[in-house]
Structures are given as C-alpha cells and as structure tokens.
C-alpha cells in the first residue's frame, strides 16, 4: 500500500482511502475540494530502482492515457478529469465509478448469460466506435479493463496503451504490452494493429464473460501467446447463440472478422433476447502460417481498475439486468447510424465532406442564445448564460433551465464526416433505461430519480437531429427534461430544456427543447455564412 495519508495533490485533490491496488499503482478515493465532488485518483507507481528510460516510458504512458481519454466523450468511456504531477510522478484524476470489473465479476460469481454479455458488448463496441472515429485504437481491451457499474453500465477504462492516428510508436514497439490472452494475433506477430484488433480483443473479452475462461486457456503467458498464434479458439460451451458471433470475431486474420456494423447488429439482437439475423460470412481467408515459435515472453502489464460512484449532471445509467428490457440497436459505424426504416436516409440528405468544417476555432456557446431570447422559455432568468467547464453553457432560473453542451471532445477543425460519425455514436449511446440519477442545484433540482427514452425522430434542426426525453421516475411520472442532439456542419451539440416545477406539460417541454435547438442551429449557420 502506498502509505500516503490524507494527502492533498495540486492543492485540490484530497486522498481519502485506497480503493484498489495492483502492480502498476493504486486507485484512491479522493475529494475534489474545488468542485466539491468525489473522484478516483490513479497513482502511477514507479519503482525506486527503475532506470531512467523505463521511468520516462511509464511517465509518458500515463500522460498519453490522460490526453487520449480526455479527447473521448462517451457514456461507456471512463472520464479523465485531470492529470497531476506530484513528486515526479503522474496521478490521473478520473470519474468515480461504483461496481467491479468484468474480470472480478466473473471470477467472484460465475460466467454471465449470453444476453447480458451481449448488452456489455453493445456498450463497449459503441465506446470503441467513438474511439476509432477519433483516430484512437485502445490496444488493451480485456475483462480487467471493462468496468460494470452498479447501475448496469459497461465502461471501457485504461487508455494507457492506446495509439492515436499518426502517433509515432518507435519508442514502444520493442516490447509488447497487454495480456496475451486478449491481444489479437496480428499484434502478437509484431504488427501495429488497428480497429479490427480491438474487435478481436472484445470478442475474447465477451468469450471470457460467458465461458469463464479466455478463448485460448493456457498456464503461462508464453503458452497463451503460442496458442493464440497457432490454434483455433476453444469451442464455446455456454455461449449459446452468442457463440457463432464470438467465433467470427476471433478469426486469426483481421480481414476474416465481421464488420463493426454486423457485430453491433447481432449484439443488439441478442441483448434484446432475439435470435440475430444471419449476416454475410466474411471472406474466406487462410490462417497464417505458424512460422517459428514465439520468441521471449512479452511483458504483461497489470492495469489498475477505476472504481466507485458519483452523481453528476450526467445521468447515471440504469440497470439493465431485468429480463424483458429490449435494447434496440441498429448501427453503421463510420457512415450512418439510424433508427429509421431507411438505413441510407442520412446519406441521401447530406453530403459529408472530408475537409475541415466551418468551425475551426471554439465558439462561445453562451453567445448563441442571448438572455432576452432565453427568457422566452425561462421568464425568471436573470442575466445571460453561464459557461460550463466543458465548453458548453447553461441558462438557469428557478425550477427550469436550458443547456447546450458539446456532444464530444475537441470538435473544432474536424470534418463534417467526422461530426456525422460522432452524431452516430451519440445516438447509439442513448439507450432506454429504468432509473437515472441527476441533479441541478442552480434550478433548485436536488437528486432525482428518472428514466430516459430511446432516441426519436424530431422536426429538422441543423443538418441532422434526434431527440430523447427524461421522465420523473418515482413520484409524478411526468416528463421533466427533453433533449435534441443536433449536428451543424462539423459540430454536434446536446440541447436540453428542463422544467421541474410542474409549470409545463410534456409537449411544451419537448417544443422548448426543439425551439432551443433551432435557435442554436440558426445561430451557428449564421456564423458559418458570415465566414
């Protein structure tokens, strides 16, 4: 154990007690004394006898993890708030999650039923889609890096080994990192790997979830490497209808694996308790020649899992353990994601440019809706909107409020196609849930229990838009929040209207959200036209 006692990092983060510990460090429960919230702080432990080169590699890895994770905003990707350098070592400040890793859940209890593993797969595949759309390959998808919260959400953690497009890897290719049972064969062969490698690792992770063992069980890392490179996966025994999909995901050659679209479609059907439709078989690709046996054992990293809970403005996702809850997912990564009868509708409506969009530098979101305009929906509003620390803006009055927030990380200078892919992933992340928790003190809304709806079609706003609603769950059952997610050129924003005092009915709240989204879209289009 680290032995640090109620220490304060950066005059802000007070360490309270250890939550988890591994060979690479300790995860602490801490309090952010500036914002008054609990966080998880990952202490990256550097052995005192570590040579300067290795020390610098571990230091750089922690900073890379913070930088890459900070670029990715997705409900199934752990949020990294800050990185602090203290006593010549990095500390990562992350959101606090409550639950346990998939690895611990399976080992402490039992393998999961196929439909539950499929629901986990839906969330993690969506997270990977968001990462890949941002040019980031995770490279370490495994059961220890999939965290299952007590509210039923699967969260992808630990981007310490992730690689971004265009990033030089010459300083890290001399040794392999990760857990051999969950590293795709091409990476074990020394190739860089790409999104298909993450897909293989997800297949191996879901295999462990339903079988309780990895697809290539072995007694040692060397044996695991040998089996992954030279043998087919162990035939699944408990996976049921999930088994054939896992077998396809675990094909030894990337080109032989199914597409992300096919995997997402099949997982969505299985999660909903339906038999997945047959998908076209991947092209027949001969397995690689075994070649010479594996070389010296690759170092195996031990990653630390971020735990425990927080309540925030963002809803905590509902438990989806109850039988009969349908998770309806229809996905096409990279080009189109629609919950409509026409899977090509978005491509027919818009022509998605690959060139940088109109918004190359940050926009002052608060200026998109002047106070006088906002008061049409918030009569008691005093003053203008207040910027949020994530680049958005809130207009708060007693009992009601408006908010506009960026739906992803740094969108400035991205192309309309990249924004469309972000819109795709944002829509997939809206899953109907049984119970959410949220609060908004500025409008006198304490912690509330609510349930959200699936994404729905809305009247046109911007280039693309969809909506969803949040209903009060325990007392009145009334609609209290309505959101419209809108894309304008290369920006995607969540626009919300909240009324908790009962002064407006559901249709009025929905209309208010759409009106606000239209104001935002018109203001952005005006800025775009003016150059």
For the segment 32-82, what is each residue's pLDDT rounded down to a tens digit? 999 999 999 988 777 677 777 777 777 776 676 667 766 777 889 888 888
**Residue 46 in domain:** yes
Per the listing, tokens 């927030």 go with: 405
Is 305 a domain residue? no
Cα separation, 160 vs 66, whole angstroms: 8
Q: Compute the distance between CA of residue 44 and CA of residue 32 in angstroms, rounded to an integer.
A: 19
Same domain, 515 and 464: yes
CA distance 296 to 293: 10
Residue 515: closest CA among 455, 442, 472, 459: 459
Q: Cα 346–350–356 angle (5° rounding)?
A: 120
**Same domain assignment for residues 200 and 261:** yes
From 246, 271, 296, the end of a domain falls on 271
Among 252-261, 329-338, 357-366, where is mean pLDDT lowest? 329-338
pLDDT above 70 (res 83) = yes
Positions marked catalytic = 140
Least confident interval from 263-272, 395-404, 444-453: 444-453
Determine how many CB atoms are found less than 10 A away from the CB of residue 31.
18
Within a domain: 331: no
* Among candidate residues 189, 169, 212, 384, the one with its CA nearest the CA of residue 290: 189
Same domain, 110 and 253: yes
Q: Are residues 82 and 151 in the same domain?
A: no
What the block records as the tokens of 360 is 């190359």
**Domain identity same for 46 and 120:** no
pTM score of the predicted model: 0.53
Domain boundary among the residues 42, 70, 94 is at: 94
Helix axis angle, 114-133 to 260-271, nearest 10°: 150
Residue 178's pLDDT is 58
Q: What is the pLDDT of residues 218-254, one digit of tens each?
A: 999 899 999 999 999 999 999 999 999 999 999 999 9
| Number of domains making up the chain | 3
Which stretch of 187-201, 320-334, 402-416, 490-504 has the lowest confidence by average pLDDT? 320-334
- Indicate whether 338 belongs to any domain: no
What CATH number did the domain enclosing 351 receive? 3.40.1000
Same domain, yes or no: 349 and 441: yes
Domain boundary among 51, 74, 94: 94
Residues 103, 61 within the same domain: no
Asked whether residue 304 is domain-assigned, the answer is no
Q: In this structure, are 124 and 221 located in the same domain?
A: yes
Domain span holding position 158:
99-166+176-271
- Structure confidence at residue 277 (pLDDT): 67
Q: Let me know: does 484 contact 514? Beta carbons within 8 Å.
A: yes
From residue 490, alpha-carbon distances to 40, 192, 268, 417 in Å are: 33, 30, 28, 8
Domain co-membership, 140 together with 34: no
Considering the domain boundaries, does residue 83 fall inside one?
A: yes
Other Cβ atoms closer than 10 A to 281 = 10
* 80-86/89-94 β-pairing: antiparallel
Average pLDDT for 70-96? 83
Confidence of residue 201 (pLDDT cuts 50, 70, 90): very high
Asked whether residue 58 falls in the same domain as residue 126, the answer is: no
Do 23 and 60 have their domain in common? yes
Q: Same structural domain for residues 87 and 117?
A: no
**Which DSSP state fits 153?**
-
In this prediction, residue 343 carries a pLDDT of 32
- The pLDDT-based confidence of 156 (bands split at 50, 70, 90) is very high
**CATH number of 88's domain:** 3.30.200.20
Residue 301 lies in a domain: no
Position 333 scores a pLDDT of: 28
Describe the crossing of helices 114-133 and 416-428 by its angle, rounded to 10 degrees. 160
């Amino acid at each position: 154990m680290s032995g640090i006692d109620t220490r304060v990092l950066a005059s802000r983060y007070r360490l309270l007690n250890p939550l988890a510990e591994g060979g690479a460090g300790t995860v602490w429960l801490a309090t952010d004394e500036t914002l008054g919230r609990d966080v998880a702080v990952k202490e990256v432990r550097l052995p005192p006898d570590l040579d300067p080169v290795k020390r610098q590699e571990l230091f750089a890895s922690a900073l890379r993890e913070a930088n890459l994770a900070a670029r990715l905003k997705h409900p199934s990707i752990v949020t990294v708030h800050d990185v602090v350098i203290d006593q010549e070592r990095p500390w990562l400040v992350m959101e606090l999650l409550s639950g346990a890793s998939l690895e611990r859940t399976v080992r402490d209890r039992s393998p999961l039923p196929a439909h539950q593993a499929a629901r986990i797969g839906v969330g993690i595949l969506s997270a990977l889609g968001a990462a890949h759309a941002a040019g980031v390959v995770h490279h370490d998808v495994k059961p220890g890096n999939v965290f299952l919260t007590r509210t039923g959400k699967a969260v992808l953690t630990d981007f310490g080994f992730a690689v971004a497009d265009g990033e030089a890897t010459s300083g890290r290719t001399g040794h392999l990192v990760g857990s051999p049972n969950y590293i795709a064969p091409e990476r074990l062969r020394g190739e860089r790997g790409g999104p298909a490698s993450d897909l293989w690792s997800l297949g191996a992770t879901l295999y462990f979830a339903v079988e309780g063992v990895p697809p290539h069980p072995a007694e040692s890392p060397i044996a695991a490497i040998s089996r992954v490179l030279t043998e087919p996966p162990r035939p699944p025994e408990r996976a049921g209808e999930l088994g054939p999909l896992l077998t396809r995901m675990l094909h030894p050659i990337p080109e032989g694996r199914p597409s992300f679209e096919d995997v997402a479609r099949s997982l969505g059907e299985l999660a909903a308790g339906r038999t997945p439709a047959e998908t076209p078989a991947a092209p027949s690709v001969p397995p690689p020649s075994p070649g010479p046996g594996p070389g010296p054992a690759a170092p195996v990293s031990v990653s630390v899992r971020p735990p425990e809970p927080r309540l925030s403005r963002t809803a905590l996702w509902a438990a989806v353990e109850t039988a009969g809850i349908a998770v309806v997912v229809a996905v096409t990564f990279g080009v189109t994601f629609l919950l409509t009868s026409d899977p090509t509708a978005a491509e027919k409506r818009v022509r998605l440019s690959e060139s940088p969009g109109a918004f190359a530098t940050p926009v002052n979101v608060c200026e998109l809706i002047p106070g006088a305009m906002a008061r049409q929906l918030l009569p008691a509003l005093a003053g203008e909107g207040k910027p949020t620390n994530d680049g958005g803006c809130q207009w708060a009055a007693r009992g009601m409020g408006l908010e506009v927030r960026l739906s992803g990380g740094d969108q400035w200078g991205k192309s309309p196609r990249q924004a469309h892919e972000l819109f795709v992933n944002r829509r997939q992340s809206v899953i109907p849930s049984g119970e959410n928790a949220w609060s908004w003190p500025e409008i006198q809304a304490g912690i509330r229990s609510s349930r959200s709806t699936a994404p729905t079609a809305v009247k046109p706003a911007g280039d693309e838009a969809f909506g969803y609603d949040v209903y009060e769950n325990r007392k009145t059952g009334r609609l209290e929040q309505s959101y419209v997610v809108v894309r304008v050129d290369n920006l995607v924003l969540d626009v919300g209207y909240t009324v908790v005092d009962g002064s407006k009915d559901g249709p009025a709240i929905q209309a208010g959200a759409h009106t606000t989204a239209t104001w935002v879209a018109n203001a952005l289009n005006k800025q775009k036209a003016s150059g």
